[in-house]
Structure 1
Amino acid sequence: MTKYSPLARRVDVPSTLTTDYLSTLSAQDETALLSYLNLPPLGAFDDQAGPPALGSDAAYEIEAQTRLPLLARREALGGRFASLDDLRDLANVSDAQIATIVERLGDLSRYGHSLRPVWGGPESLHALIELLENAERYIHISMYIIGGEIGMRVARILAEKRKAGVEVRVMFTASGFVISGSPSGTGLVSKLSFARQQVSDRYLRARIVQHMLDNDVEVVDTAPLARHWKRQSFRERGIRDAASYYRWCRAEGLRESWIAEQEALDRVITRGMPYVDHRKMVVVDGKRALIGSMNIADSYFYENELAEDPRVNVKRWQWHDNAAILEGGAIAELNHHFACRWSLSGGGTFDPDDALYQPPNERRGEAIVTQVASVPGLLEMPMRRNWSRLLLSMLGADRRPLVEGSHPIRDRIIQLPELAQQQLHVEHCYPSDAGLLERWSERLSKIPEFVMVVPKHYDTVLMGLECDRFFPDMQAAGARLYGFNQAIVHSKIAVADSFYVATGSYNLTVRSARMDLELQFFVQDSTFGNAVRERICGDLARCVPIEPTAIDRFRSRRSIPLLDALIRFFLF
């Protein structure tokens, strides 16, 4: 099928839906059509260019002249189309209008996906190892962190796959101050454990990289993100300044859109600020991918079940996180994101549109996927507008940073409570974006059920202080907040009305919008949405209700002089 063209919406059509047309649809088209029409909005929200324009016809992929008669019929049937027979003899909807929808669903870069949630260390580890071991043509890994014993285990698997002829490319932060969570290499049991872990972690990362290089696995360090001509690997090629770097990019045939992205990063990124590539993906053969918020390290992937005593898990540095296995045409776009950063960072060039990397698309399910990649510089915290707020915060006033700009992931996440008509379930590790949480709180009274799982235990004390101060206001607005008590939680997932899921690498922090390369997926699918909601609700058994302390209530209205100014304006 050809890709859907929005211009097809405007064609004048007869106002009759005939039995003859419906009978020509294949079983696959019938399943896809019914699944699409049974989504809560009836059809999907139009979220490709940005957040759905709620309050107008433009919020939906199906125009009102088609959508409203279908919605009325669905409601008359009790809220669901069971078969194509339910569409017959429908007034004011024509064959051409339904044909336009069927044609749209043939765009398998957006429609026809399957997603399966994988939750917690053991289940996620099994899914990751199975994914890698089944690779036949290529493996592309982009991670923020690879470390610990699981990092070495993955490196050994990649080495074996490379010997078997599989192409393997790996990108991650291989240098700098990054804690991967590898207690098995340090024994995280003493007051010196943090320092010991840092030393051990750098050693393990070096071993992991060396093992991969020794076995012909291609590796690129994602740090630093900008001014690549300062890298030793480029200096060895005689590239020592911006002009020679960009001449090299064009000589290598890199796409102008990729070069423009790097030029923007070079303008935005300054020395001393911790800008990172925070994206997370494992792509195999162009058919399957592991996506979500999990790094490849012992904190995220482990074989044992979590202990009942949270102190044991915190001491082991074993966290609670989740990911998903994605199948479908959206993986081609994942490869484009990978190829962009890989090539710009000096990893060599490959054509992500080559048949090797893009197998023929097949319908794998009924999920609709919008993936959004972001770069630093889209959201700013200009000091010209924040000096007075900073000074007042240093003196104890509650002055929160002002930000400027539009961020494609943040804007969509801000809107989640507006998309939810009945319920919103969230599990996030670092909820500290004041502007985002304030917008959420304004909407909470209109949602019958808002459940949010947040950390009971944090990996850093300062982050915990900053997050906890928002909880009194959120609870006053109607949020039911639960602290995950069995381990440190690292999840970054939300689902509205059991069908609209936001998952990926993005944290609910201003720094994610300002400083990190992020990758987020917005999925419209009742099967995946229900599964995510059930997993979040299942986690409630390991939670305790959030009970704000006196200091939380104080900090929701005031600031601790100096300390809060540092946290709010410079750290998170």
Structure 2
Amino acid sequence: MWTSIFIGIYVVVAFSIVLSILLYGAKPTKSLAWLLAIFALPIGGIFLYLLLGRNRRRYKLIELEKDLFNKQPKPSHQHVNEFNGRYKKLMALNYRNSHFPPTTGNDLTILKDGKTTFETIFYALECATIRIHIQYYIFEEGDLASRLLELFEKKIAEGVVIRLIYDGIGSFSLSKKYLKELIKIGVEVYSFLPFKFGRYFYSLNFRNHRKIIVIDGEIAFTGGINISDKYLKGQVGLGKWHDMHLKLIGAAATQLDQVFMTDWYLVSTKLLQPIQIPEKTEELVVQNEMVQIVAGGPDDDFPALEQTYFTIINMAKEYVYITNPYIIPGQALIRALQTVALSGVDVRLLVSENADNKVVSWSVHSYFELFLKAGIKIYLFPDGFLHSKIMVSDDAVSSIGTANLDDRSFEQNYEVNAIMYHKHMAKLLKEDFLQDCSISNELIYEEYIKRKWTKKLQEGIGRVLSPLF
């Protein structure tokens, strides 16, 4: 009897999932893979699908009210038509996806590696007078975390409100003792989708990969650097982590604060209001750099960051340079990179020679032959682990943020990038890219195709497993 009941329940659940895949599957290849998994692994296939395979764009994690903070205008054709210049289509695309228009009057500073970044961050935190918003994928205990704890206690005593979001999986090692210390001194702390059975278990695969600090609503930081001592001391067996961060002062910082406030509502159900920043006089505006914040996640209707990267690549006329540790692109980005390279655009990829995950590294390398054959230049950075997420093109547009060039960043993670329409910033990032390439090892197509068959086998395994990364 119980066997018959179990079989009946299984058939109903399996049929429901198959119907859902057929109706709402986003990609035919993935849909077919999940159908095969469900039929080949009767119980395990269903479990894995519920854990990893659900179409989050169809089943949203949370429905935010329209104009939640009454902070940003509803995208309209009239507003979009106001964009001008070479990249007006990119601006319109990002505006429709993230609802943030490009802003001027921003003061931007590129921060390279941990020492410079954290010195700048701590100085800015010391100057906070109203509130501090902090959000990180990886928040690890160590010297940095201890220093932050001391600073938080001091600022709270001065009347500054501090709110912290950490990802439940990325910061899984964060101890209860440290969290209790944060709460004890008055920090408001929430975990993003903590690992636990129940309501959020089915969302285990959807992580918040954003790195955001906003001080008093007008000074902000974002990029690839997490709160971890490995950016200062290195990591055993891997060496020092190299990364790029960005400091923003102005309207773009306020937009990053709005991204944080949306995530804060998601984890706490508490509504926050933006700080009213007084308009600056022309004398106080150091630089007039146009910036557009692009925030994307699995709840959005379209993969915003993938579309941003795709558009920058396709609009390139002279060059597009990409620094990224996890280049595991889908067919659209593969074709885009190959097409612009074959048309004569100088396309270069800078990837870390050392890897923090061997299988992921196999997957990244599995695309190298396709790229090299199309004339794309690939450089392997040999010193430590290169973790930056940079794209720069034609001395005109550039991107610094948290999104990798892989399916996880485009489909499963909450990410944020700063798109800069400014020649000065593009040239600075281009010079830095070329400097890193000069100390890196360039791959040559004729030599690479002669690699050992064991290497090719590893790459094949990596590519097959890449949808799980």
Q: Structure 1 residue 334 and structure 2 residue 256: aligned?
A: yes
Aligned partner letter, 2:225: M
- The whole-number CA distance in structure 1 between the counterparts of 2:101 and 2:365 is 42
Match of 2:399 among 495, 499, 502: 502
Q: Structure 1 residue 409 and structure 2 residue 305: aligned?
A: yes
Q: Deviations over 1:173-201 (max 9, x none)?
A: 2x44x3x6xxxxxxxxxxxxxxxxxxxx7
Q: Structure 1 residue 437 and structure 2 residue 334: aligned?
A: yes
Residue of structure 2 equivalent to 1:284:
215
Residue of structure 2 equivalent to 1:568:
466
Match of 2:116 among 123, 128, 136: 123
Measured after TM superposition, the shift of residue 475 of structure 1 is 1.5
Aligned partner letter, 1:47: L
Q: Structure 1 residue 524 and structure 2 residue 443: aligned?
A: no
Aligned partner letter, 2:355: Y
Aligned partner letter, 1:528: M
The change in CA–CA distance for 1:510 and 1:316 in structure 2 (over 3 A counts) is: closer
Match of 1:454 among 335, 351, 356: 351
- The whole-number CA distance in structure 2 between the counterparts of 1:122 and 1:511 is 28
Match of 1:419 among 306, 315, 319: 315
Aligned partner letter, 2:378: L
1:171–1:220 Cα contact (<8 Å) kept: yes
2:294–2:418 Cα contact (<8 Å) kept: yes
The change in CA–CA distance for 1:421 and 1:565 in structure 2 (over 3 A counts) is: closer
- The whole-number CA distance in structure 2 between the counterparts of 1:537 and 1:293 is 19
Q: Structure 1 residue 167 and structure 2 residue 161: aligned?
A: yes
Measured after TM superposition, the shift of residue 450 of structure 1 is 2.3
> How do 1:75-86 and structure 2 match up within 5 A?
none
Residue of structure 2 equivalent to 1:153:
147
Q: Deviations over 1:59-93 (max 9, x none)?
A: xxxxxxxxxxxxxxxxxxxxxxxxxxxxxxxxxxx
Residue of structure 1 equivalent to 2:292:
370
2:111–2:245 Cα contact (<8 Å) kept: yes
Q: Deviations over 1:448-470 (max 9, x none)?
A: 43222111011000010000111
Measured after TM superposition, the shift of residue 155 of structure 1 is 2.3
Residue of structure 1 equivalent to 2:47:
none
1:376–1:516 Cα contact (<8 Å) kept: yes
The change in CA–CA distance for 1:498 and 1:314 in structure 2 (over 3 A counts) is: farther
Measured after TM superposition, the shift of residue 560 of structure 1 is 7.1
Aligned partner letter, 1:568: S
Deviates most, 359-368 or 459-468 = 359-368
The change in CA–CA distance for 1:225 and 1:415 in structure 2 (over 3 A counts) is: farther
- The whole-number CA distance in structure 2 between the counterparts of 1:520 and 1:429 is 16
Measured after TM superposition, the shift of residue 539 of structure 1 is 1.6
Residue of structure 2 equivalent to 1:241:
none
- The whole-number CA distance in structure 1 between the counterparts of 2:150 and 2:293 is 31
1:299–1:319 Cα contact (<8 Å) kept: yes
Q: Deviations over 1:209-267 (max 9, x none)?
A: 2221111011111124999x94xxxxxxxxxxxxxxxxxxxxxxxxxxxxxxxxxxxxx
Aligned partner letter, 1:421: K
Residue of structure 1 equivalent to 2:362:
465
Q: Structure 1 residue 274 and structure 2 residue 274: aligned?
A: no
- The whole-number CA distance in structure 2 between the counterparts of 1:545 and 1:429 is 16
The change in CA–CA distance for 1:553 and 1:374 in structure 2 (over 3 A counts) is: farther
Aligned partner letter, 1:49: A
Measured after TM superposition, the shift of residue 505 of structure 1 is 0.9
* Uncovered stretches (5+) of structure 2, i.e. residues with no partner: 1-72
- The whole-number CA distance in structure 2 between the counterparts of 1:133 and 1:280 is 19
- The whole-number CA distance in structure 2 between the counterparts of 1:52 and 1:213 is 37
The change in CA–CA distance for 1:552 and 1:499 in structure 2 (over 3 A counts) is: farther
2:291–2:418 Cα contact (<8 Å) kept: yes
Aligned partner letter, 1:458: A
- The whole-number CA distance in structure 2 between the counterparts of 1:144 and 1:529 is 27
Measured after TM superposition, the shift of residue 315 of structure 1 is 2.7
Aligned partner letter, 1:545: E
Q: Structure 1 residue 47 and structure 2 residue 47: aligned?
A: no
Residue of structure 1 equivalent to 2:186:
216
1:420–1:447 Cα contact (<8 Å) kept: no
- The whole-number CA distance in structure 2 between the counterparts of 1:564 and 1:337 is 34
1:140–1:170 Cα contact (<8 Å) kept: yes
Q: Structure 1 residue 538 and structure 2 residue 435: aligned?
A: yes
Residue of structure 2 equivalent to 1:136:
129
Measured after TM superposition, the shift of residue 410 of structure 1 is 0.2
- The whole-number CA distance in structure 1 between the counterparts of 2:270 and 2:94 is 35
- Structure with more of its chain in strand, by fraction: 2
Deviates most, 334-343 or 491-500 = 334-343
- The whole-number CA distance in structure 2 between the counterparts of 1:332 and 1:455 is 33
- The whole-number CA distance in structure 1 between the counterparts of 2:222 and 2:81 is 37
Match of 2:279 among 344, 360, 364: 360
1:328–1:364 Cα contact (<8 Å) kept: no
1:281–1:291 Cα contact (<8 Å) kept: yes
SS at match of 1:335: helix
SS at match of 1:219: strand
SS at match of 1:360: coil
Q: TM-score, normalised by structure 1?
A: 0.61
The change in CA–CA distance for 1:477 and 1:485 in structure 2 (over 3 A counts) is: same
- The whole-number CA distance in structure 2 between the counterparts of 1:530 and 1:222 is 36
Q: Which structure would you say has the larger Rg?
A: 1
Deviates most, 343-352 or 546-555 = 546-555
- CA-based RMSD: 3.5
> How do 1:75-114 and structure 2 match up within 5 A?
110-114=103-107
Measured after TM superposition, the shift of residue 147 of structure 1 is 0.9
1:495–1:501 Cα contact (<8 Å) kept: yes
Q: Structure 1 residue 320 and structure 2 residue 320: aligned?
A: no
1:46–1:52 Cα contact (<8 Å) kept: no
> How do 1:223-302 and structure 2 match up within 5 A?
223-224=193-194, 230=199, 271=202, 273-300=204-231, 302=232
SS at match of 2:93: coil
1:225–1:277 Cα contact (<8 Å) kept: no
Measured after TM superposition, the shift of residue 273 of structure 1 is 4.2
- The whole-number CA distance in structure 2 between the counterparts of 1:473 and 1:214 is 54
Measured after TM superposition, the shift of residue 321 of structure 1 is 0.5
SS at match of 1:294: coil
Measured after TM superposition, the shift of residue 441 of structure 1 is 1.4
Q: TM-score, normalised by structure 2?
A: 0.73
Measured after TM superposition, the shift of residue 345 of structure 1 is 1.3
2:107–2:249 Cα contact (<8 Å) kept: yes
Q: Deviations over 1:381-431 (max 9, x none)?
A: xxxxxxxxxxxxxxxxxxxxxxxx841110110122222221222111100
The change in CA–CA distance for 1:216 and 1:272 in structure 2 (over 3 A counts) is: closer
